[in-house]
Structure 1
Amino acid sequence: MSTLLDVKSLHTLYGSSHILHGVSFSIQPGQAVSLMGRNGMGKTTTLKSILGLVTPRSGTVTFQGEEITQKETWRRMQLDIAYVPEGRGMFHNLTVKEHLQIAARANRKGEKHWDYERVLKTFPRLQERLNNLGTQLSGGEQQMLAIGRALVTNPELLILDEATEGLAPLIRKEIWEVIRTIKDSGISTLIVDKNIQVLKDLCDQHIVLVKGKVVFDGSSERLINELETVESYLAV
């Protein structure tokens, strides 16, 4: 099986601040991978380095065998990568329907497994709010829309930054169920979240960052066996 995403020895700086110190990990096709760590440990910078929103000082990012370290962000998106940002990224002048329709496309293979209708079936609440602006939705509804907007691009890799941050418990549970459905559909996922109890059951592989360094990279079985140690890395 060919590796889908391969991140090797990323060193990323903001000015003179050295944020990532040799971050390396990989994602296989169909895998769900968690990226955990306390606030300020480099999770979002890792995502931005993968997406081209910041340029690493050194190291490489390879997607489906193609090195993309220097590619512009929009070119990476054309390679079937989708991103659900922290804060959801709603367009203030677009309705729910327009958010979904403007993003819809087939993947590079010409496949369209996720379309407008499938997203509405997955998120019935969006069906009720089609003519509302995205900014008029609740936080949970915005997250559903952000995920749906990413899915209609039919990605090979879906990246979710703070997937359930700030959501009510019932909405959080609903989002996790959708993420499991996405995984079961064969889409690889990279998930930033703090809920280790859910992630250990949902994801195949787990990455933990401390001060921009990978301190844990292992399977769910290993995570469970070393849970106390991993939780110590995540404790405030």
Structure 2
Amino acid sequence: MNNSLLEVKNLNTLYGRSHILHDLSFCLDKGKSMSLMGRNGMGKTTTLKSILGIVSPRSGHVYFDGEDITKLPTWKRMRRDIAYVPEGRGMFHNLTVKEHLQMAARPSSNGDKSWDFDRVMATFPRLQERLSNLGTELSGGEQQMLAIGRALATNPRLMILDEATEGLAPLIREDIWNVIATIRESGISTLVVDKNIRALRKLCDHHVVVVKGKVHFSGSSEELAQNLQEVETALSV
């Protein structure tokens, strides 16, 4: 029985004449967590955009829960219960914290305990104190909490986080890692882009390292530990 939720198969994505992704392939199982690592400019964000339909690959396929979604527009992919936490957090300038969460809210489609407003508030108590503030008035860490809370409010089966802890203070980073662990424990599959190997080893079941648009390493946390020097070299600037 195929337990795959997301399968990326032989993706080739180009920007004009620039060939960014080269036969990129990986698979994320249901209820599991995967890291996607690589230096800046190696193709991580292009991989996410190809999965989400923001850019169209020249060839290859994206499957979600067994369905080929390669040709679907972005909004139809997201309606398959995919949530995206973008780099930069994507705050709306005219919406309060509460409105961000209300705007995104969607009932759960699989019968599990819903990520309703109260559950999001319990997960991010700091946001409770900021409900009437505009999203753009929050600190960087609070904005990331809101971006994750907004994604959770859609009750996704897959959550994709781009640069999950980029630019955050160490204590806030720990909070975000703990929240991502809680999300995974709730049964939501997660695809996490970040550079913190130590945190990702603890959090994720599988790891993919991309170098120049190709899979340089793919393996479990145990295999990552066994090849740590090689991976650290691939990630070093």
* TM superposition score category, shorter chain reference: over 0.9
In structure 2, the residue matched to 1:54 is 55
SS class of match (2:60): strand
1:108, distance to aligned residue in structure 2 (A):
3.1
CA RMSD of aligned residues (A): 0.9
1:2, distance to aligned residue in structure 2 (A):
2.1
1:112, distance to aligned residue in structure 2 (A):
5.2
Q: After the TM superposition, which parts of structure 1 deviate over 6 Å for at least 4 consecutive aligned residues?
A: none
In structure 1, the residue matched to 2:153 is 152
Instruction: Give yes or no for contact 1:107–1:154 (8 Å, CA) kept in 2.
Output: yes
In structure 2, the residue matched to 1:32 is 33
SS class of match (1:90): coil
SS class of match (1:45): helix
Question: In structure 2, how many angstroms separate the alpha carbons of the residues matched to 1:181 and 1:69?
Answer: 30
TM-superposition CA deviations, 1:18-56 (whole Å, max 9, x none): 000010000000110000000000000000000000000
Question: In structure 2, how many angstroms separate the alpha carbons of the residues matched to 1:60 and 1:106?
Answer: 29
TM-superposition CA deviations, 1:73-96 (whole Å, max 9, x none): 000010000000000000000000
Count of residue correspondences: 236
Q: What amino acid sits opposite 1:183 in the alignment?
A: R
Instruction: Give yes or no for contact 2:108–2:115 (8 Å, CA) kept in 1.
Output: no
SS class of match (1:199): helix
Q: What amino acid sits opposite 2:226 in the alignment?
A: N
Instruction: Give yes or no for contact 1:79–1:108 (8 Å, CA) kept in 2.
Output: no
1:109, distance to aligned residue in structure 2 (A):
3.1
Query: Map of 1:72-221 to 2, 5 A cutoff?
Result: 72-109=73-110, 111=112, 113-221=114-222
Instruction: Give yes or no for contact 2:87–2:164 (8 Å, CA) kept in 1.
Output: yes
1:214, distance to aligned residue in structure 2 (A):
0.2
Question: In structure 2, how many angstroms separate the alpha carbons of the residues matched to 1:47 and 1:185?
Answer: 23
Question: In structure 2, how many angstroms separate the alpha carbons of the residues matched to 1:56 and 1:138?
Answer: 36
1:13, distance to aligned residue in structure 2 (A):
0.3
Question: In structure 2, how many angstroms separate the alpha carbons of the residues matched to 1:219 and 1:4?
Answer: 17
Unmatched tracts of structure 2, length 5 or more: none
1:138, distance to aligned residue in structure 2 (A):
0.3
Percentage of identical aligned residues: 71
TM-score if structure 2 supplies the norm length?
0.98
Question: In structure 1, how many angstroms separate the alpha carbons of the residues matched to 2:46 and 2:81?
Answer: 20
TM-score if structure 1 supplies the norm length?
0.98
Question: In structure 1, how many angstroms separate the alpha carbons of the residues matched to 2:113 and 2:203?
Answer: 25
1:111, distance to aligned residue in structure 2 (A):
4.8
Question: In structure 1, how many angstroms separate the alpha carbons of the residues matched to 2:71 and 2:113?
Answer: 28
Instruction: Give yes or no for contact 1:158–1:189 (8 Å, CA) kept in 2.
Output: yes
Question: In structure 1, how many angstroms separate the alpha carbons of the residues matched to 2:109 and 2:186?
Answer: 17
In structure 1, the residue matched to 2:46 is 45
Instruction: Give yes or no for contact 1:105–1:112 (8 Å, CA) kept in 2.
Output: no
In structure 2, the residue matched to 1:66 is 67
Q: What amino acid sits opposite 1:118 in the alignment?
A: R
1:67, distance to aligned residue in structure 2 (A):
0.3
Question: In structure 1, how many angstroms separate the alpha carbons of the residues matched to 2:179 and 2:97?
Answer: 18
Instruction: Give yes or no for contact 1:50–1:61 (8 Å, CA) kept in 2.
Output: yes
Question: In structure 1, how many angstroms separate the alpha carbons of the residues matched to 2:232 and 2:111?
Answer: 42
SS class of match (2:106): coil
1:106, distance to aligned residue in structure 2 (A):
1.4
Query: Map of 1:2-21 to 2, 5 A cutoff?
Result: 2-21=3-22
SS class of match (1:89): coil
SS class of match (2:127): helix
Shifted more, 82-91 versus 109-118: the winner is 109-118
